[in-house]
A = this chain, B = another copy of it.
């Protein structure tokens, strides 16, 4: 129900189609996993699944002003290495005449509940794209427009299957300065394809239950971007996870990304442990399905892509996105 206050009509985002969700029916409209995941996946994964990484809303309006009003799930608006604009902020992009998405403004949250008027760019945008927070959840989100202007939500094209990415803190978006600069968000914008972000900070540990959750989704293909979280776990979990996912979705391609190192000291120990297993699985018949994507050169040679030796700053995110775009394009062409 839209609510009118001070000539602004507030549209409840829960009633709009939220893109980037793997499951339509969720406990909160801003959750990334369905209710049955609670108690099935590890508690840490469930908690992180309530962060809105990758979720976004696309709409049209002719309004010259766009407002947002939010109630965030957690009072911790930022992390020591990631500002509130990225952890808890909303990013507005506009689609220009050439079909390119361009950044307009961030909600710059200073409080768990707040309001922001996006400063517009003085040009007409065909569509708007509103990214939800990377490392916080929402209990309420509303988009406010002057009452004479309509909000026309644009749902995802259901005929296009999403790419499903399972991964780490970096996958989830740490430490992008705002939601739009997370690498998979950049790649999805540039490729104009749906991506489901199942990055779970520090918790991309390949429990067998996660393979079952992933297999519930009718993916275009799967990207397993989680090696960084697999220190000491590769031997035990990597093969059973891939086998289970493959058994449940035998026709789906599975892409494993290489573990990164900001110094380009590759392969890392984790990659060195995983690669023989990938090769074994390929040798045993998964050659048409399973591929390994190296990251050599991805982060450049200047060592400036990280904040704390692990998590990417926006430079790292942009360089990763460039590699992702090329890589995803290749698999999109195959599917």
Contact = CB atoms under 8 A, between A and B. Distances in A.
Interface of A: 77-85, 102-106, 108-110, 119, 121, 175, 177-178, 180-181, 186, 262-263, 302-304, 306-309, 313-315, 318
Given A81-B84, A83-B82, A102 B303 contact: yes
Nearest to A118: B309
Contact of A181 (B103, B110, B313): B313
Contacts of A315: 181, 314-315, 318
A314 B180 CA distance: 14
Given A102-B263, A315-B315, 20 more contacts: A78-B80, A78-B83, A80-B110, A81-B84, A81-B85, A81-B106, A81-B177, A83-B83, A85-B307, A85-B308, A102-B303, A103-B262, A105-B308, A105-B309, A106-B308, A177-B177, A177-B307, A177-B314, A181-B304, A181-B315
Contacts of A109: 80
Oligomeric state, in copies: 2
Nearest to A262: B103
A309 B119 contact: yes
Contact of A83 (B80, B102, B108, B306): B80
B307 A178 contact: yes
Contacts of A308: 85, 105-106, 108
A102 B302 CA distance: 7
Given A85-B307, A314-B315, A263 B105 contact: no
A83 B77 contact: no
Contacts of A119: 309
A180 B309 CA distance: 13
A79 B106 CA distance: 14
A186 B303 CA distance: 12
A106 to B, nearest CB: 5
Nearest to A121: B263
Nearest to A317: B315
Contacts of A302: 102
Contacts of A307: 83, 85, 106, 177-178
Nearest to A78: B78
Q: Closest 10 CB pairs between A and B?
A: A177-B313, A80-B84, A313-B314, A102-B303, A314-B314, A83-B83, A314-B315, A81-B85, A103-B303, A177-B307
